Amino acid sequence: MRDTPRPQGTAGDPGPRPPQLRLGRALAHTPGALRSGYPHRSDGRTPQTPRGGRYTDPCDRPGTTPPVPGRSAFPLLGSLLVLFLLITWQVVVHGPLTRADERLGNALFRPDRLSALLADLGAVPVAVPVLAVALFWAATSARNSGREGWWLPPVAAAVTMTTVPALVLPFKVLIARPGPPVMGPATGFYPSGHMATAMVAYGAAALVLWPWQRTPGARRALLTVCLALDMAVASGLIRSGYHWPLDVLGSWCLCGAMLCALWQVLDRVGHFSPPNRPA
């Protein structure tokens, strides 16, 4: 290969010269630049994200704990819907997953008073008033703080709760799955209505109350209580023989997707921004 030809000098060019040092740029990158009075090239810029405006994690480092403002919930929503459709298909065709589910349900059947009480936590007269109190508290807190659109998160959560029967009842009627033996010849057990009510009521309550918990410990406690209530309802329904495990899991997937959609709506209206700042 031939060497790349070098450019020829032009008329009046005194000849080749070594590279010239440009003092302004060189000094800006030397350790003594600040001492000599030359600022670093980025020192005069305003930071794009002021530290005070960043969300912080429990250790006061940039970042957040869930829900994460600005992060899309659609990937999780899609995964839950795919899993729900897979479970529904197995229930409809009474596939191997359904037969294993019935064996597991019979093995877990241990009715007692505590299990019945836990299952009742998913009843409408119990779960919906809890959500109503949470919505009132969140709306009052947002209004008192002067936040614009303070009524949007409670309304979005209430609408999500009202859509539960509109989504669950058609599946119950169309699939008509028989329940555990203790429930007799009745049908319409998939998905579980009690589990769906609990998932949306307690989950929506946690979402609307999330920004008003001022400490990371309070937010972890709120999330823990929500998950504990949902797990208690699931355990009570299965142990009491009110539902098969897949009935409960199907409601977890369907209503989990509904909560993801609610999460996305609340994030769009600025619900998860710090309470002491405008939404």
The tens digit of pLDDT for each residue in 73-106 reads 789 999 999 999 999 999 999 999 999 999 999 9
123 pLDDT higher than 90 = yes
Specify if 58 maps to a domain.
no
Q: Which residues pair with 187 in a beta bridge?
A: 178
pLDDT at 274: 74
Q: What is the mean pLDDT of the chain?
A: 82
Is 79 among the domain residues?
yes
**Where do runs of H (alpha helix) occur along 44-151?**
74-93, 96-108, 113-120, 124-144
- Exposure class string for 80-110: b at 16+ Cβ within 10 A, else e: beebbeebbebbeeeeeebeebbeebeeeee
Say whether pLDDT at 53 is over 70. no
Distance CA 98, CA 202 (A): 28
pLDDT for 4 equals: 47
Is residue 17 situated within a structural domain? no
Q: For residue 18, is it within any domain?
A: no
Q: How many domains does the chain have?
A: 1
Residue 178 is given by DSSP the state B
Query: Is 34 a domain residue?
Result: no
CA–CA distance from 220 to each of 67, 102, 240, 257 (Å)? 11, 35, 30, 21
Q: How many CB atoms lie within 10 A of CB 264?
A: 16
Residue 145 clears pLDDT 80, i.e. is over it: yes
Q: Establish if 54 belongs to a structural domain.
A: no
CA atoms within 13 A on the CB side of 147: 26
What is the structure's pLDDT at 95? 95
Report yes or no: 101 and 244 within 8 Å, Cβ to Cβ: yes
Domain that holds residue 135: 68-268
Split at pLDDT 50, 70, 90, the class of 278 is: very low
Mean pLDDT of 184-193: 95
Whether 32 is covered by a domain: the verdict is no
Within-domain flag for 14 = no
Q: What pTM was estimated for this model as a whole?
A: 0.74
